[in-house]
Chain A
Amino acid sequence: MHKLTLAAMQRSLESGEFSSVELCQHLIERTKQHNETLNAFVSITEEQALSEAKAADEKRAAGDTLGSLHGLPIAHKDIFCTDGVRTSCGSKMLENFVPPYNATVVEKLKSAGAISLGKTNMDEFAMGSSNENSFFGVVRNPWDTERVPGGSSGGSAAAVAGRLVPACTGTDTGGSIRQPAAFCGITGIKPTYGRVSRYGMIAFASSLDQGGPLAATAEDCALLLNEMAGFDPRDSTSIDRANDDYMATLHQPVKGMKIGLPKQYFEAGLDDSIAALLQQAIKELEKLGAEFVDIELKNQHLAVPAYYIVAPAECSSNLARFDGVRYGHRCEDPKDLEDLYKRSRAEGFGREVKRRILVGTYALSAGYYDAFYVKAQKIRSLISQDFSQAFADVDFILGPTTPSPAFKIGEKTSDPVAMYLNDIYTIPANLAGLPGISVPCGDVGGLPVGLQLVGNYFDEARLLNVAHQYQTVTDWHTRIPG
């Protein structure tokens, strides 16, 4: 049962092959059994899930439908606020924080009938590329438990890859959906900035953060994204634009689509074996009728440095609210206000979060603002222009999701820059606000590899369409760790 895709589970529930209660119960048992190793979940909301599943079954029996995700199990990254359910954001700071409201994404999926089995582990405040920065411990890659699952949505990716749950929500600020999807051999899409509401999604870098789904297949991602996407009046940066039906366009032919291959994505730094797998994928897509052209993204090399100014700057301000005054961790016996601030924050935040707050505070300081923040924003514009020029000629841009497959736990923790470079291919889409999808395209020594497609603004439907068509002729996405 757990090996089925979300779409297959949907069909089985409809045909009565099994019930939502049976499905959820089975997955919760599996999760309990495997979570000790994987550490993908930080909380399992068994009681709530089973009671919702029961209600969903009853509704179905009565001939009512709750929506397109009626009775289907999912899990939320622990960055999405869930009313009455602890939302920790992977931090000691929020170890005991129980939100009084649901994030828009949580609300939308719930009203479509989805049942949340729990909350998934993540890098603290979504800062990390390996899920080693969680207060709740590292998440292990189901393909090799000595290796990282990627981050920051590492718990979501590992949970899907380990078939604990068919689909999860995630968030992507610099690659946090696509990179763990690639490391775990699943599919994950970061939509256009503004397509999915950020309300109730704990902010890391507001101008880059975007929620999206992680699942085994593009079709499952489409199923989830159909419900996640949409304008939200509570998020001023969400875009008021009609929703596309991502399921409806999955089966369109790829023939005639033009895909750009940026020279800069295939240069030094890319693992040879990944480059070879990408060539295979290109051949597959050519067989489907896609055309490939070489393109330039000449400011690509500036993306990581610009990102590591903009994201920390925004995070330094976004995380100021965690001051020990109203909620979250408060130190014992503060002797005065300053002591309360200093110790609560020193104790509540982990190393990487502190590092970024310091970098961001510095970048925004008087005298440095123009040299760092303003300059980084200019680079951001240049990167967006590069993409706009490219999209004048091509429909998509194809490249690797990551420079290498999943690395060993502890391998890069002492070298933050090496860690940051993991996101070299994913960051540009965040800086430009473009949608990007990672699709499994092979393996290197038993470790999954992902290819990334970046589309133009609001082109999620065609991205999912191409990814789905690719998955009809390949089987990488069907592989399950042993």
Chain B
Amino acid sequence: MQWETVIGLEIHAQLATRSKIFSASSTQYGAEPNTQASAVDLGMPGVLPVLNREAVHMAIKFALATDAEIGRHNVFARKNYFYPDLPKGYQISQMSLPIVGTGTVTVELDDGEIKEVGLTRAHLEEDAGKSVHEEFHDATGVDLNRAGTPLLEIVSEPDMRSAKEAVAYARKIHSLVRYIEICDGNMQEGSFRCDANVSIRPAGQEELGTRSEIKNVNSFRFLERAINFEVDRQIDILEGGGEVVQETRLYDADKDETRSMRSKEEANDYRYFPDPDLLPVHIEEELIESLRSAMPELPDARRKRFIADFDLSEYDAGVMTADRRTADYFETVLDKSGASAKLACSWISGELFSRLNKDSLELGDSPVDAERFSALVARIHDNTISGKIGKDILDKMWSGNDDVDAIIDKEGLRQISDTSEIEKMIDDVIAANPDQLAQYRSGKDKLLAYFVGQVMKASRGKANPGQLNKLLQEKLKE
């Protein structure tokens, strides 16, 4: 039988606020356990939550970025369940009146196909703490540093039909939330987490199959693998005459499998009701407009502009707008270096990115910032140095504080573009290689490269390659 896969994603994006959603504690990752947990975060008797305005603003920005409805009348609700890392015995979330309503996300697939994925809703909620099992014998530790960190839970429609589509959608949301700077997107630290609702149905059938929800997926690669594993598992069950049970399954990356965590029967009745400690939040048009006017240009629009205005290829424009930092970096380099978009793009995507990759650095942590990099590209653009020398200089800039011009001067790397000087070096090389000259003249054209190499070597790489080529060919013909 032909099976159709149906996937919907629930993405938890940690909002990049400085303090927690209902307390003044810091949200900084990686602090000593329980050092960022105040009386409010601990759920001490008598404490009360106070909503962080910034979290609301970030959620509205997300709605603006996805052209989604904005819930004007927001109500926070309590989701009641017991768990040791949930200090109050309930999580403050949103139920019937979320801050973000329906919207649409346009996703470009690998083959260039455009897919529209519906957003069901996105709501604000607080994160729980962490249970720590490893470090304690026969006991569980609880770290409440994360408790109360603001989350935006972004729920999609079941619009995706393959693991690849699901990953493309997740990547799109990931890029978007980073672009509008509401989430740092760090999946290792849990700032961006995906849960996948996966079901299958016979191709052509309208009715949805029974779904399982896969949790604990902390990379896009694992998301794809987990979904594919789950689809195969469900096909095996159905083709073996069995039934899929509605349950929550945990993905185990080490074993590359999903396993049952709890079934629907064991599921909690969360007894949602409006949190009486928090008043409803009304979102005024004025606030929306002020946030709208401060929105950055979104990646899709920027990509189109890069193609139209800078004549970049579709591919290059995609790379240069993959995240906001790259796009900003690119535009700075373009602006300050005076170089062509193609030159700027190739130096960023080639030399810069390979060095960042090698050192496992983010662009924001690059030892060469956009200003310094612009100066380098400018010197290549105005022929002060060759591309080859440029790469050596970039290495020096990478490990030191000197700017491009200082390195050029200090090391005498200025490109030789003086015709007579290059001619003199050519003459010397030709004079020193009479055999090769004879062979070249007898038709062995390939030897041109040999002569280029010799002259380059004599110039210590500084000869202007274009000029050298032209002059050499003339001289060899004489």
Contact = CB atoms under 8 A, between A and B. Distances in A.
Contacts of A81: 44-46
A468 B46 CA distance: 33
A341 interface: yes
B271 A365 contact: yes
Nearest to B43: A321
A233 interface: yes
Given A89-B45, A97-B45, A236-B277, A321 B87 contact: yes
A172 B89 CA distance: 24
Contact of A325 (B47, B84, B271, B272): B84
Contacts of A97: 45
B42 interface: yes
B246 to A, nearest CB: 16
A321 B277 CA distance: 15
A320 B44 contact: no
A100 B39 contact: yes
B46 A234 contact: no
Q: Dominant SS at the B interface? A: loop
B45 A199 contact: no
A322 B276 CA distance: 19
B271 A99 contact: no
Interface string A297-325: 00000000000000001101101111101
Contacts, number: 99
A266 interface: no
Contacts of B39: 100-101
Interface string A194-219: 00001111110111000000000000
Q: Dominant SS at the A interface? A: loop
Interface in A100-135: 100-101, 103
Interface string B29-52: 000000000010011111111110
B45 A202 contact: yes
B21 to A, nearest CB: 12
Nearest to B23: A234
Nearest to A367: B269
A361 B80 CA distance: 10
Contact of A320 (B50, B89, B142): B89
B46 to A, nearest CB: 4
B3 interface: no
A241 interface: no
A316 B279 CA distance: 20
Contacts of A390: none
A202 B46 contact: yes
A282 interface: no
B273 interface: yes
Interface residues of B, number: 28
B46 A99 contact: yes
B90 interface: yes
A320 B81 CA distance: 8
Contact of A234 (B43, B50, B272): B50
B225 interface: no
A66 to B, nearest CB: 25
Contacts of B50: 233-236
B249 interface: no
A327 interface: yes
A419 B276 CA distance: 26
Nearest to B279: A236
A236 B48 contact: yes
Given A237-B279, A364-B80, A365-B271, A317 B90 contact: yes
B88 A206 contact: no
Interface in B224-282: 269, 271-273, 276-279
B48 A373 contact: no
Given A81-B44, A237-B276, A323-B84, 15 more contacts: A89-B45, A199-B46, A236-B51, A237-B279, A314-B276, A317-B271, A317-B273, A320-B89, A321-B88, A326-B43, A327-B45, A341-B82, A364-B80, A369-B271, A373-B273
Give the 10 A-B residue pairs with the shortest CB-CB distance, closest first: A320-B89, A207-B276, A206-B276, A364-B271, A200-B46, A202-B45, A321-B43, A81-B46, A321-B88, A202-B46
